[in-house]
Amino acid sequence: MKNILIVGGAGYIGSHTVKQLSNSGYNCIVIDNLIYGHKEAVLTPYFELADLLDKDSLDRVFKKYQIDSVIHFAAFAYVGESVQHPRKYYENNVVGTLNLLDVMLKNNVERIVFSSTCATYGEPQYIPIDESHPQEPINPYGRSKLMVEEVLKDYHQAYGLKYISLRYFNAAGCSKDKDIGESHSPETHLIPLVLQAIINQDKPIKVFGTNYDTPDGTCIRDYIHVEDLAVAHQLALEKLNQYSGCINLGTGIGTSVKEIIATAELVSGQHCPVTFTERRKGDPAKLYATNNKALEILGWVPKYTRIEDIIQTAWDWIKNKRY
Ligand code: UDP
Closest residue (by CA) to atom 6 of ligand 1? 190
Alpha-carbon gap, residue 171 to 229, rounded angstroms: 8
pLDDT of residue 60: 98
Rounded mean pLDDT of the chain?
A: 97
Confidence of residue 282 (pLDDT cuts 50, 70, 90): confident
Q: Does ligand 1 come within 6 angstroms of the Cβ of 190?
A: yes
Closest residue (by CA) to atom 3 of ligand 1? 207
CA distances to 53, 106, 256, 267, 280 from 272, in Å: 42, 53, 15, 11, 20
Note whether 260 and 216 are within 8 A (CB): no
Note whether 219 and 284 are within 8 A (CB): yes
Closest residue (by CA) to atom 13 of ligand 1? 190
Alpha-carbon gap, residue 121 to 145, rounded angstroms: 10
Atom of ligand 1 nearest to the CA of 257: 14
Q: How far is the CA of 190 from the centre of ligand 1 (A)?
A: 5
pLDDT of residue 2: 95
Q: Does ligand 1 come within 6 angstroms of the Cβ of 207?
A: yes
β-strands 3-7, 69-72: how paired?
parallel
Q: How far is the CA of 147 from the centre of ligand 1 (A)?
A: 24
Task: Find the distance separating the first CA and the last CA of the chain, reported in whole Å.
Answer: 30
Note whether 50 and 9 are within 8 A (CB): no
Q: How far is the CA of 318 from the centre of ligand 1 (A)?
A: 18
DSSP 55-99: HHHHHHHHHHS---EEEE------HHHHHH-HHHHIIIIIIHHHH
Closest residue (by CA) to atom 12 of ligand 1? 219
Q: Say whether the peptide bond before residue 215 is cis (omega within 30 degrees of 0).
A: no
* Span 186-213, pLDDT tens digits: 999 999 999 999 999 999 999 999 999 9
Mean pLDDT calculated for residue range 231-252 = 98
DSSP 197-225: HHHSTTSPEEEE-S-SSSTTSS-EE-EEE
**In the 8-state DSSP scheme, what is residue 111?**
E
Mean pLDDT calculated for residue range 64-93 = 97
pLDDT of residue 299: 98
* Span 130-158, pLDDT tens digits: 999 999 999 999 999 999 999 999 999 99
Q: Which residue blocks in the chain are alpha helix, DSSP H?
A: 12-23, 55-64, 79-84, 86-89, 96-106, 140-159, 190-199, 226-239, 257-268, 292-293, 307-319
CA distances to 72, 177, 266, 305 from 301, in Å: 22, 21, 26, 10
Out of 221, 229, 259, 275, give the residue to mutate to test ligand 1, the one with the largest number of ligand atoms within 8 Å of its CB. Answer: 221
Closest residue (by CA) to atom 1 of ligand 1? 190
Question: Given 141, 155, 163, 212, which residue is catalytic?
Answer: 141
Provide, rounded to the nearest whole percent, the portion of the chain with pLDDT above 70: 100
Alpha-carbon gap, residue 129 to 117, rounded angstroms: 12
pLDDT of residue 91: 98
Q: Does ligand 1 come within 6 angstroms of the Cβ of 219?
A: yes
pLDDT of residue 255: 98
Q: Does ligand 1 come within 6 angstroms of the Cβ of 206?
A: yes
Atom of ligand 1 nearest to the CA of 280: 11
* Span 8-48, pLDDT tens digits: 999 999 999 999 999 999 999 999 999 999 999 999 999 99
89 has a pLDDT exceeding 90: yes
Q: How far is the CA of 90 from the centre of ligand 1 (A)?
A: 23
Burial environment of residue 181 by CB neighbours within 10 A (0 to 12, 13 to 18, 19 or more): buried
Domains of the chain: 3-172+223-249 (3.40.50.720)
* Span 93-125, pLDDT tens digits: 999 999 999 999 999 999 999 999 999 999 999
How far does Cα 234 stand from its chain's mean position?
14
| CA proximity to 171, closest of 38, 314, 8, 67 | 314
CA distances to 10, 33, 73, 293 from 253, in Å: 28, 34, 24, 16
Confidence of residue 63 (pLDDT cuts 50, 70, 90): very high
Atom of ligand 1 nearest to the CA of 193: 8
Alpha-carbon gap, residue 270 to 45, rounded angstroms: 39
How far does Cα 117 stand from its chain's mean position?
7
* Span 206-233, pLDDT tens digits: 999 999 999 999 999 999 999 999 999 9
141 is catalytic: yes
User: Does pTM surpass 0.85?
Assistant: yes
